[in-house]
Structure 1
Amino acid sequence: MTDDVTDQGYRSIFTTAQDGLRLHARDYGERHWTRLPVVCLAGLTRNAIDFHDLALALSNHRHRPRRVVALDYRGRGQSDWDPDWKNYDVRVEVGDVMAQLAALGVEQAVFIGTSRGGLVTMGLAAARPALIRGAVLNDIGPVIEARGLLRIRSYVGKLAPPRTFLEAADLLRRISDARFPALSNDDWETLARGSFLEREGRLEPSYDPALMKPLAALDFEAPLPTVWPLFHGLAHAPILAIRGEHSDLLSPETLDAMEQAHPGLERWIVPGQGHAPLLRDAPTVNRIASFVAAVEDSPRPAAERGDLARA
């Protein structure tokens, strides 16, 4: 494990996956803090940058500062690209996350999963339930709308690299403005900086374009499989389900069904945003901070305590 200190409120930490790939994480906050940490997991093509503002807010909270870890999956952000695109699979990413958290000394946390990050969180609940004290599922549920995946498939790995971040922000605005009317110019630039990285004076996608291959293999003529069994694996944990008002991936009907299946589930709708909310507007940041604090104050179920003792 290697450790690079930055002046932006976090440390860049690199660990090694079981197959030798180098994986990156941002670590916000002092390690010696005893408060319940937060782990942030990004969407399909996204990375740790997406959580920067939220992580700063939580790690520097006036009353309850805490450690926040934001991870880059393989093939995203500053993590290595995988030479075998078939490893861009949620099951592999679950294993990577468990290895990263073990190296970082995180034994339990509240997980914030955006889109694919929510699926990884559900996978972790099946593999290591003791890791999860609570979950924030950002615009994702056990039923994924095909139209949302089709939209994502239409651009993943196909965007021409822009010359500047301002040009990148304009590009993303043209693609998604109809679903995100509430975003400011600063929001679009923040989104752009998570979509492209500057390497040797040029902007390149912040993800391996081979991520398109698993999407291309999906058969949209048949109904997409649901992941209700994985969602039920979160039965032991409080859930805050966030939905963008204009989301095309998480439907209101699925959100209702999630609430019926998990009576303790809380919901939060982000106005003027689609899939997936940026989690940087003040009301949403405050709502997440309150949820994390409430999870920290709640006792762990006896079964979960037993799992942790055996882990």
Structure 2
Amino acid sequence: MKDHDQPSPQKHCWSLDGLTYASLAWGPADGRPVLATHGWMDHADSFRELGPRLTDCRVVALDLSGQGLSDHRSPDATYNLWDDLPQMAALLDTLGWEKCTLVGHSRGANINSLFAAAQPNRVNAVIALDALVPDPVADTAVVDTLRAFIEDTRQQTTRPRRSFTSKEDYITRRSERRNSRQTAEALVDRAVVETPDGFRTRADARLFASSAMKLTRPQVEAVLRSLTMPVLNIWADKGLPAYTDWPAEARRLAESLAPDYEALEIPGDHHAHLDPAGAQRIATAILDFLARKT
């Protein structure tokens, strides 16, 4: 599929537990249900290349809370990995989906693994892109984590949103932070909003704060054991595995603990699914996996 052949997504907004969630959707209304969740500081446009390539699927890609066009959470709320899980369940109810396939990238993949472990009856397969489960912390880290959560949250609450003189300024800044220019260009429209003083980021600054709690290794292992549905984990050779040791360890743990786990490595960076060639490789792998496993 060439870029100029890409169908325009359908735009939707959902009211879920008092929060408005924006989304983009591709594919026939009666297609295989697929819920897609993006990475940290991304949004639904992260799936603009992959979504339309998942033929015969109804792909609904969310802007998770505090990102893209979705609502920010209330001033007393948080952005822990699990905070969107009740709204994801509510969206499945709203869509009338008894079960769905979860496709997640980076932070979204971690969120999906938590949802699938806790709600296995609602998930028929998990597709995790360049992540799987969060990097665990030591059992003794609880006090330091709480301290960082309190201090970071107070600091970010009073911090002005980042501003840019132009969309090009945002693209350049993001391109300097392990993102290709192609990725930055794909994400800019939903990431910033124009104001009289230029462009400012839409994302809630509290997303930069530490979580209140983080999972320990035994908890991560419990999540992996609970992924009873088929799991396809696609890693990019120049993605997270190139920067940290955790992906290799997460993959090793999943191979020994998750009941039905497959891993695949493809060429590309952390946003390989936003590159047309990478998106096609990933779509082919996903469709083959779903045909074999579900």
Matched, 1:71 2:71: no
Does residue 1:277 correspond to 2:253, yes or no? no
**Whole-angstrom distance in 2 between the partners of 1:224 and 1:54:** 32
Deviations 1:75-104 (A, max 9, x none): 111111112353323333011111112212
* Residues 272 and 279, structure 2, Cα contact 8 Å, conserved in 1: no
> Is 1:237 aligned with 2:230?
yes
The 1:66/1:198 distance shift into structure 2, 3 A limit, reads farther
Residue in 2 that maps onto 1:81: 72
Secondary structure of 1:38 counterpart: strand
User: How many residues are aligned here?
Assistant: 268
Asked whether the 8 Å contact 1:23–1:79 carries over to 2, the reply is yes
How far 1:10 sits from its partner (Å)? 2.0
In 1, Cα distance between the equivalents of 2:207 and 2:184? Answer: 23
CA distance in 2, matches of 1:145, 1:159: 29
Deviations 1:149-187 (A, max 9, x none): x9xx9xx978732122221111112222xxx5xx3x433
Alignment of 1:237-276 (within 5 A): 237-247=230-240, 248=243, 250-262=246-258, 264-273=260-269, 276=270
CA distance in 2, matches of 1:259, 1:299: 17
1:227 is aligned, of 187, 199, 220, to: 220
Shift of 1:218: 6.7
The yes-or-no answer on 1:117 pairing with 2:108 is: yes
- Aligned counterparts of 1:233 and 1:214: Cα–Cα separation in 2: 26
Looking at secondary structure, tell me which structure has more strand per residue.
2
Summarize the Cα distance change of 1:27–1:141 in structure 2 as closer, same or farther, 3 Å threshold.
closer
Unaligned runs of 5+ in 1: 1-6, 59-63, 301-311
Q: Say if 1:107 and 1:283 are closer, same or farther in 2 by CA, change over 3 A.
A: farther
**Counterpart-to-counterpart distance in 2, 1:229 and 1:124:** 13
State the TM-score, normalized to the length of structure 2: 0.77
Change (3 A) 1:246 1:284: closer
Distance 2:283 2:64 in 1: 24
Identity %: 20
**Structure 2 stretches of 5 or more lacking a match?**
1-5, 138-147
Report the 3-state secondary structure (helix = DSSP H, G, I; strand = E; otherwise coil) of the residue aligned with 2:235.
strand
Paired AA for residue 32 in structure 1: D
**C-alpha distance in 1 between matches for 2:213 and 2:160:** 17
Aligned-partner Cα distance in 1 for 2:197–2:26: 27
Residue 204 of structure 1 pairs with residue 197 of structure 2: no
The RMSD of aligned alpha carbons is: 3.2
What is the 5 A alignment of 1:155-234? 160-176=162-178, 183=180, 185-198=181-194, 202-215=198-211, 227-234=220-227
Q: Is the 8 A contact 1:12 1:25 kept in 2?
A: yes
Within 5 Å, give how 1:120-135 maps onto structure 2: 120-135=111-126
What is aligned with 1:293?
287
